[in-house]
Amino acid sequence: MTNKFKPDPVIHADVNMEFKQDEYVPLKKEVYIKKETALDAMAGDGGYQEAYLGDHLRFKMKRDKKRFWAGDNISDYLHEGDVEKLIDEATEAFELVLDRLLIDRENDPNSKGTARRLAKMYFNEIMAGRYDPAPDATAFPNDSSDRYEGMLVVRSELRSMCSHHHQPVSGVAYIGIIAANKLIGLSKYTRIAQWCARRGTLQEELCNDIAREIEKATGAKDLGVYIQATHGCCENRGIMAHSSLTQTTVLKGAFKDDMGTKKEFMDNIKLQQEFAPR
């Protein structure tokens, strides 16, 4: 290929370099993972930091073997002010994407602030669940003699994004539990579900994620999560199916093993759907 992609020197100058023996040495990305000592020097206190905070954090997570897929929460790695810095860096990167798409972001009034709008939208809205810590879900005791022992089903509206195409996913999750020794506020179920959804997800994974986080917050071992959602990647592109609907179910404990419990959960979902059709 003669017309090779040439990295923009302003954007990429320092990314593939390491600071070694008082000078910058070009470095292939893969090498970062193998060279523990260079990474330590970069991540250490007062040591050299990559030109981009995003690179610094990526290398740190790789070194820690911390998974940072589109659906993973990485809030443990962020400090105050980091998101603002990452938005600045993502703005720069989105500017490059717009340039490569041959959109005149300098003169088209509608495209002028688009790079920053995209960066802010990703961090603060559609992927906020990756960067925000888990919502605070204070638990209340449910262990007295007149404790609630029935089923609780909460309907939670969801907005998510598919990690394959970054297209919107829109739907409803029905979260059912049989209360254990603690209860959380009703709105917390939806907050937890939305925190899981505000990432790049697959609906199957999202269903699992919500079940796991609800189990963590409530201690309930008997639970079910049912999601029905429409996917922008099926509606706006590809098969262009406008009324397609995807349903996923995760069942645990009695919801899985006891037919009566499973039926009660499914019946409750039907009642909720009659009450509030989506």
Catalog residues that contact Zn ion under the rule CB under 5 A.
162, 164-165, 233
Other C-beta atoms lying within 10 Å of the C-beta of residue 165: 15
Nearest to 127 by CA among 169, 189, 85: 169
Between 28 and 242, CB nearer to Zn ion: 242
* Cβ distance to Zn ion smaller for residue 186 or 239: 239
Of 7 and 238, which has the nearer Cβ to Zn ion?
238
Taking CA atoms, 183 is separated from 72, 156, 189, 212, 219, in Å, by 26, 17, 10, 16, 9
User: What would the two tokens of residue 5 be?
Assistant: 């992609």
Pairing of strands 139-141, 182-184: antiparallel
Least Å distance between CB 241 and Zn ion? 12
CB 189 within 8 A of CB 156: yes
Nearest-approach distance from CB 197 to Zn ion, in angstroms: 15
Q: Residue 67 contacts by C-beta under 8 Å, 6 or more apart in sequence? A: 61
Residue sitting closest to Zn ion (CB)? 233
In the complex, what is the shortest distance from the CB of residue 233 to Zn ion, in angstroms, rounded to a whole number?
Answer: 3
Residue 87 vs 233, nearer CB to Zn ion = 233
How far, in whole angstroms, is CA 150 from its chain's centroid? 32
Question: Could you tell me the smallest distance in angstroms from the CB atom of residue 159 to Zn ion?
Answer: 15
Q: Of 54 and 232, which CB lies nearer to Zn ion in the complex structure?
A: 232
Tokens, residue 209: 């994620």
